[in-house]
Amino acid sequence: MSPKIILIHPPIAKCSEPPAGIAKLSACLNANGVHHHVIDANLEGILHMLRHASTNNPTTDRWTTRACKKMEINLAALQDIATYRSPSRYQRAVMDINHLLNVAGKSWRVDLSLADYHDQCLSPVKSADLISAAKKPQANPFYPYFQYRLMNALKENPDFIGFSLNYLSQALCTFAMIGFIKQIQPRQKIILGGSLVTSWIKLGARRNIFYGLVDDMVVGAGEQKLLELLEIKDGKTFCPPDYNGFPLDKYLSPGLILPYSSARGCYWHKCAFCPEKAEGNAYLPLEVSQAAEELQILTRLLNPALIHILDSSISPSLLQALAQRPPGAPWYGFTRITQHLTDEDFCLSLKNSGCAMLKLGIESGEQKVLDQLNKGIDLPTASAVLKTLKKTGIATYCYFLFGTPPETKECAVKTLDFICQHHNCIDFLNLAIFNLPSQSVEAQSLATHDFYEGDLSLYKNFQHPTGWQRPVVRNFLEKTFKKHPAIALILRRTPEFFTSNHAPFFYS
C-alpha cells in the first residue's frame, strides 16, 4: 500500500501567502507518486480564532465591539487592492483584525498578533517549556481549532506527519499540536523540519532532544530525507513548488502572492556575524535559466498578483535573467547593493520585467562600520542605487542595523543623516537592533552572556566594546531616531505586521 504523509504549517506566521517550504516538499512527493496532503494550520487557525472571537467575545469596549462587528468586512478589505490605495483604510482593517486576535489570546495568557506569539509562562527557546506545551495541548489558544482538525487528519492513518517549524513564533504551537497527536495516537510518526530546526541542530542541539515526541529532526532541505523515510530510492527531488493543496483564495492579500526560491544560502556569504556563515550553510542556486523558466510556468499556472522571491539575496545573474525573461507578474525580493543597480537602463529593464520593489540591506550610514562588517558595499554606490531606483519607479525597502560591535552612537547618528539625505528615495524602513549569533566566529572575541534564558537560544548578548548596549541603542532609536520628521514619515508608510509582504501593493 502506498505511504501517506501529512505536512503541516503551524501558527503563528504572517498569513499573507502560502508556505514555500511545504510547497517544495509537496512537489517532491507528487513527483514520486506519494499520497499526501498539506494543512496550513496557521491560516486556518487564525481565521478560526477570529471568527470564534467575533461571535463569542464578552468584552464590550468600543474598539473590540467594532472589531467584532466588522471582522468579515476587514478580512475582505485585505483581499481588495482598493484598500491599499487608502493607507488609513488599510491600517484600520489590519489594526482591528490584530486587536481581535490579541483579545482572543488574553484569556489563554498569550499575547497574539498577526506576526507573533508570546506565551506569558512558556519560552520557545527552552526545550523543557516546549515539552510542557506538548504535555498540555489544551492550554494552547489554538486548541479549539486543532483538536478537531488533527483528529480528522489522523483518520487517514498517515505513515508520517511532518511539521515545518521556521520561526520562534511557531514553536509552542507546533509542540502543542505534536503533543495532542501523541495523546490520541502514541505511535504516530512525527517529523520535525524547517529553518529553525536546522539552526537548533547546527548550533549544537541533540537530535533526540524531543525523544518520545519527535521521531526524526530534519536538517536543511527535507526532500531527500522524506524520500529516505519513505524508502524511495533514486527519487526526483528538484521540483518547482506545488501550491495546489493550499487554500489560495483565503490568504490575507489582494490576490495570490507566489513565494519562490531560486537558491539556498547567500551568494555573498562574507558578512561578519552572519547566521548563514555561522551555521555553515552552503550557497546552492538553481541555474538562472531554470529559475526564470519555472517562474514563467508558475505564473501562467497560478496567475499571481505578486511574486515574492525568497532568496537571501537575488544574484546579479538572476536579476539579469529576469530583466531578459520577465516572469509575467509583478515581483520583489531582497538583493545586495551592486553597481548593476546604478545603471538606469538596467533598472528600467527590471521595472519593465515587473520589479515592483527591492529590499536592500544597507545596514549603516558609516563606511567604517560597513567595512568592519565586511558588507562589501560602499555608501556612494548605495546613494547612487537609491537615486536610480527612485528615478526608474522601483520602490525600496531599506534595512538598517544598530548596535553592531563596530558601531558607536556617532556612527548611528551618521546613519540617521544618511537616511535623511535620501528620504525621498526610501519608501519603507526596517530598523533592527543587532543580535549576536551564538556560534559566529566573531563572537569569540567578545564578552558574552545569555541573550535568552534557554538551551535553544540562537543568540548571545555581549558587552559592547564602546558601551553602546542594547538598552541605550533602543532608547536612541525610540527617542531620537524615529522622532526625526523625515524618518517618521517613512515609518508611517510601513504596513503594520505584514511589513514587506504587503508593501509592494501600495505601489501597484
- Is the residue at 240 inside a domain? no
Q: Are residues 225 and 269 in the same domain?
A: no
The predicted pLDDT at position 394 comes to 98
Spatial CB neighbours of 241, under 8 Å, sequence gap ≥ 6: 20, 23, 24, 26, 27, 259, 260, 298
CATH number of the domain that 351 lies in?
3.80.30.20
What's the number of domains the chain is made of?
2
The predicted pLDDT at position 226 comes to 87
| pTM strictly above 0.75 | yes
Specify the 3-state DSSP secondary structure of 348: helix
Q: Are residues 261 and 227 in the same domain?
A: no
Q: What would the pLDDT profile of 76-108 be if each residue is shown by its tens digit?
A: 999 999 999 999 999 999 999 999 999 999 989
Specify the 3-state DSSP secondary structure of 51: helix
For the record, the C-alpha cell of 411 comes out as: 556612527
Residues 375, 407 contacting (CB under 8 angstroms): no
Q: What would the pLDDT profile of 384-412 be if each residue is shown by its tens digit?
A: 999 999 999 999 999 999 999 999 999 99
Q: What would the pLDDT profile of 41-83 be if each residue is shown by its tens digit?
A: 999 999 999 999 888 877 778 999 999 999 999 999 999 999 9
- Is the residue at 75 inside a domain? yes
- Is the residue at 247 inside a domain? no
The predicted pLDDT at position 410 comes to 97
Q: What would the pLDDT profile of 345-363 be if each residue is shown by its tens digit?
A: 999 999 999 999 999 999 9
The predicted pLDDT at position 1 comes to 47
Q: Are residues 293 and 439 in the same domain?
A: yes
- Is the residue at 83 inside a domain? yes
* CA angle, residues 358, 363, 367, in degrees to nearest 5: 120
Spatial CB neighbours of 409, under 8 Å, sequence gap ≥ 6: 468, 472, 476
pLDDT at 273 over 70: yes
Task: Please state the rounded mean pLDDT for residues 364-389.
Answer: 96
Q: Are residues 369 and 474 in the same domain?
A: yes
**Boundary-marking domain end, from 187, 216, 231:** 231
- Is the residue at 248 inside a domain? no
Q: Are residues 185 and 291 in the same domain?
A: no
Q: Are residues 453 and 380 in the same domain?
A: yes
Q: Are residues 302 and 180 in the same domain?
A: no
Residues 285, 262 contacting (CB under 8 angstroms): yes
Helix (H) or strand (E) holding 309: strand 306-314
pLDDT at 278 over 70: no
In this structure, the number of other CB atoms found within 10 A of the CB of residue 201 comes to 17
User: What is the Cα–Cα distance from 407 to 369, expressed in whole angstroms?
Assistant: 6
Q: What would the pLDDT profile of 281-310 be if each residue is shown by its tens digit?
A: 788 888 999 999 999 999 999 999 999 999
Range of the domain at 280: 257-507
Q: Are residues 221 and 283 in the same domain?
A: no
Q: Are residues 204 and 262 in the same domain?
A: no
Sheet with 428-433: list strands edge to edge: 257-260, 306-314, 331-335, 355-363, 395-402, 428-433
Strands 436-437 and 428-433, by their bridges, are unpaired
Q: Are residues 226 and 332 in the same domain?
A: no
Closest-CA residue to 239 (of 33, 24, 38): 24
Cβ burial, residue 161 (10 Å; 0-12/13-18/19+): buried
Q: Are residues 136 and 267 in the same domain?
A: no
DSSP notation for 155-220:
TT--SEEEEE--SHHHHHHHHHHHHHHHHH-TT-EEEEESHHHHHHHHTT--TTTTTTT-SEE--S
User: What is the Cα–Cα distance from 329 to 303, expressed in whole angstroms?
Assistant: 8
The predicted pLDDT at position 233 comes to 83
Residues 7, 243 contacting (CB under 8 angstroms): no
Strand partners of residue 460: 436, 450
In this structure, the number of other CB atoms found within 10 A of the CB of residue 88 comes to 7
- Is the residue at 502 inside a domain? yes
- Is the residue at 239 inside a domain? no
Residues 192, 218 contacting (CB under 8 angstroms): yes
Q: Are residues 320 and 467 in the same domain?
A: yes
Strand partners of residue 347: none
- Is the residue at 243 inside a domain? no
Spatial CB neighbours of 207, under 8 Å, sequence gap ≥ 6: 201, 217
